[in-house]
Chain A
Amino acid sequence: GAVVSQHPSRVICKSGTSVKIECRSLDFQATTMFWYRQFPKQSLMLMATSNEGSKATYEQGVEKDKFLINHASLTLSTLTVTSAHPEDSSFYICSAPGGTAPDEQYFGPGTRLTVT
C-alpha cells in the first residue's frame, strides 16, 4: 500500500508555543490530505481536509486559527498547533488517498503532542 510519514513522532512543548507537524506522501502524490485527532481509547476525529494549492476545509468546531494547515506541495501537508495549551495534547494523525481507489486512505504513524 501507499506510504505516509509524519514528523515528529513525539513532541513536548511548553504552553503558549507553536508546534508544526509534517505529513508526507512518500511514493505517491496527494492533492488532498486529512488531519485527525485521537484521544485515548477513542476513535479518530476528522479535523480538516488539506487541499494542495488552496485553503483547508475545517470540520465544525475546529478552530482554523488554532490549527493552521498548509499544503504547499503534492507530497507535503503541515499542521501547526498555535499557542498550544495542555488541552491540545493529543495524538494527531494524517492520511491521504493513495490506492487505486480514491476512497482508500492510508495513514501516517501519528504524532504524540504533549503540552506542558
Chain B
Amino acid sequence: GQQLNQSPQSMFIQEGEDVSMNCTSSSIFNTWLWYKQEPGEGPVLLIALYKAGELTSNGRLTAQFGITRKDSFLNISASIPSDVGIYFCAGPLLSGGSNYKLTFGKGTLLTVNP
C-alpha cells in the first residue's frame, strides 16, 4: 500500500526554537494533511494543503505542499511547551465513490523543554 515517510521520528528542542518536519511519498497526493495528537486524545487537524506549491499558515505553524506533490513539510516557529505531541502527515486516497482513506506517516514526537 501507499506509504508516507515522515522524519524525524522524534525531536527534543528548547522552548523558543523553530521546528521543521517533513513527509515524502513515492506517489502523488492531491491533498496533504497535518495533524497533531496529544497523549490520550484523537488527532486534531492543523493544516490542509490542496495545491502544489501552496504555503499555508495557521498561527505559528506553516506547511507547504511540494511542487512535485510527493512531499510536504511542517514548520513550527517559536515553540512553546504546549506544542508537545505527535505530529502526523496524512494523504487521502480515493477508495471508491467519493470516499477517501487516509494514509499516515509514522509521526514525529515533539518534546519541548521549557
Contacts and interface: CB of A to CB of B under 8 A. Distances in A.
Name the residue in B88, B96, B99 with the highest tally of chain A Cβ atoms < 10 Å from its Cβ. Answer: B99
Interface of A: 1, 4, 6, 32, 34, 41-44, 46, 49, 57, 91, 93, 95, 97, 99, 101-110, 112
Dominant SS among interface residues on chain B: strand
B66 interface: no
Interface in B69-101: 88, 90, 92, 95-96, 98-101
* Interface size of B as a range: 20 to 34
Contact of A99 (B41, B43, B48, B96): B48
Given A110-B41, A112-B40, A49 B48 contact: no
Contacts of B44: 107
Contacts of A99: 45, 48
Contacts of B107: 42-43
A57 B92 CA distance: 17
A44 B88 contact: yes
Interface of B: 30-31, 33, 35, 40-45, 48, 50, 88, 90, 92, 95-96, 98-102, 104-107, 109
Given A43-B104, A49-B101, A93 B92 contact: no
Contact of A110 (B31, B40, B48): B40
B33 A104 contact: yes
A28 to B, nearest CB: 14
A42 B106 contact: yes
A23 to B, nearest CB: 10
Nearest to B42: A107
B106 A43 contact: yes
Contacts of B96: 57
B100 A103 contact: yes
Contacts of B88: 43-44
A43 B30 CA distance: 21
Nearest to B30: A103
10 contacts: A46-B102, A93-B42, A93-B43, A95-B102, A97-B100, A103-B31, A103-B100, A104-B48, A105-B90, A109-B42
Contact of A101 (B31, B42, B90, B106): B31
